[in-house]
Homo-oligomer: A and B are copies of this chain.
Amino acid sequence: MSLIVHKYGGTSMGSTDRIKNVAKRVAKWSRAGYQMVVVPSAMSGETNRLLGLAKELAPSSASMSYQRELDMLASTGEQASSALLAIALQAEGVESVSYAGWQLPIRTNSAFTKARIESIEDKRVMADLDKGKVVIITGFQGVDEHSNITTLGRGGSDTSAVAIAVALKASECLIYTDVDGVYTTDPRVVPEAKRLLTISFEEMLEMASMGSKVLQIRSVEFAGKYKVPLRVLSSFTPWDIDLTEEARSGTLISFEEDEKMEQAIVSGIAFNRDEAKISVLGVPDKPGIAYQILGAVAQANIEVDMIIQNISRDGKTDFSFTVHRNDHAKTLDLLKSQVIPELGAAEVVGDTKICKVSIVGIGMRSHVGVASKMFKTLSEEGINIQMISTSEIKTSVVIDEKYMELAVRALHKTFDLDQDRA
């Protein structure tokens, strides 16, 4: 009997009517003979409501004891939605049981609000599945070795679902969300954007990391590492559509490169205005500076995205990187107070009014000139490029935030993404 993991986002769980729909859909799969594990997010708005209350009580704090309490607080959202889904399934006549992360347990490290999954115990789940029950597992959360509740950070329910699929050796992980798949770019910015039927794991990784927001990047990494077939699809299609049809809808994140995929050079345009740029200017060019700067940043649990070091002039170099906008002020403080004094003469500047735009595609590997076509398009639109970073399947630029839509639309057209494709 095939084991399937479904994950439902906050919007899909947003009301009791929607939860009933989820229950009907899961019941359909269960009755079709699949062993079902479901990972729900909190009802939409709930996590924000809870964290909003915390903010009213204490504007913010980086202290570990504060972060610990935020996790105690936020984790209640998924626990409640999981119990509600179990109840809705029981009302559908399907035996079901919900578990919070600590009840299995889903073991994580102790990095509160950004924890990483270390292991998942499957004994209880397998026993329940063998009894024919649908098992519901809270997304987003786990427990550390001291029995403290941890959360995986925003969007962590995707990661939970994939990690659970891996641990249970599921044959597929279906991520139900409020969009019906992965698009060539955000349709709100480019109405001509097309849904991709398949996307390679590597492309998806780039799309996700660039903020296309369909899937959390860590869930894609996880799926890639363990080769779990992952499918993004909409929870707003009628619950009673034909199962075969449903199983093939959405976008499949594929781990085999087939010939068809080679045809397209660029699969999509990703963008993101969640980042801020930080430049350390006039750094003495000697071994170890990258570590000196970024080691401290990493230690403060701040994630760094793009990193660029220009060639040196007069024995000095400039070092730039991007962080999440929420971490911008904290990173600047950290650099000014700890790192700069040690580095010797140097200045730090930051800019939050930026955005990152990327073209992503496996086809880029074997096609020269893709990056220059991108730069030409931006230049024709009069958009100045502040930073460039490239990989085998992606070229990213940092530009002024105000040009984001213009750049995305122009690139979408340049790379023929508004044409129908097989």
A409 CB, nearest partner CB in chain B, Å: 42
Q: Mark A83-112, 1 if CB is under 8 A from B, else 0.
A: 110111011000111101011000000000
Report the separation of the CA atoms of residues A66 and B90 in the bound assembly, to the nearest whole angstrom. Answer: 7
Q: Are A90 and B73 in contact (CB under 8 A)?
A: no
A84 contact set on B, CB distance < 8 A: 53-54, 57, 69, 73
A217 CB, nearest partner CB in chain B, Å: 28
Known: A57-B19, A80-B76. A86 touches B69 (CB 8 A): yes
Chain B CB within 8 A of A368 CB: no
Q: Mark A51-91, 1 if CB is under 8 A from B, else 0.
A: 00110111001010110111011011101101110111011
Known: A76-B76, A96-B65. A70 touches B83 (CB 8 A): yes
Report the separation of the CA atoms of residues A246 and B75 in the bound assembly, to the nearest whole angstrom. Answer: 36
Known: A16-B53, A16-B57, A65-B95. A82 touches B72 (CB 8 A): yes
Known: A72-B79, A76-B80, A84-B73. A57 touches B102 (CB 8 A): no
A69 contact set on B, CB distance < 8 A: 83-84, 86-87, 90, 97-98
A236 CB, nearest partner CB in chain B, Å: 19
Q: Mark A371-397, 1 if CB is under 8 A from B, else 0.
A: 000000000000000000000000000
Known: A19-B57, A90-B61. A68 touches B97 (CB 8 A): yes
A56 contact set on B, CB distance < 8 A: 16
Report the separation of the CA atoms of residues A373 and B327 in the bound assembly, to the nearest whole angstrom. Answer: 75
Chain B CB within 8 A of A50 CB: yes
Chain B CB within 8 A of A114 CB: no
Q: Are B76 and A79 in contact (CB under 8 A)?
A: yes
Chain B CB within 8 A of A147 CB: yes
Chain B CB within 8 A of A356 CB: no
Chain A contact-residue range equals 35 or more
Chain B CB within 8 A of A6 CB: no
A291 CB, nearest partner CB in chain B, Å: 33
Chain B CB within 8 A of A20 CB: yes
Report the separation of the CA atoms of residues A83 and B73 in the bound assembly, to the nearest whole angstrom. Answer: 5
A54 contact set on B, CB distance < 8 A: 83-84, 87
A72 contact set on B, CB distance < 8 A: 79-80, 82-83, 86, 98, 100
From the candidates B20, B63, B80, B103, name the one contacting A73 in the complex (CB within 8 A).
B80
Report the separation of the CA atoms of residues A72 and B77 in the bound assembly, to the nearest whole angstrom. Answer: 11
- New A-B contacts (17) at CB < 8 Å, excluding given A65-B90, A79-B79: A16-B56, A16-B57, A19-B57, A50-B80, A53-B84, A54-B83, A57-B87, A58-B87, A65-B96, A68-B97, A69-B90, A72-B82, A73-B83, A76-B77, A76-B79, A76-B80, A102-B102
A residues near B, CB below 8 A? Answer: 16, 19-20, 23, 50, 53-54, 56-58, 61, 63, 65-66, 68-70, 72-73, 75-77, 79-80, 82-84, 86-88, 90-91, 95-98, 100, 102-103, 147-149
Q: List 16 A-B contacts (CB under 8 A).
A: A16-B57, A20-B57, A54-B87, A58-B87, A58-B90, A58-B91, A66-B87, A68-B97, A69-B84, A70-B87, A72-B98, A72-B100, A73-B80, A76-B77, A76-B80, A100-B149
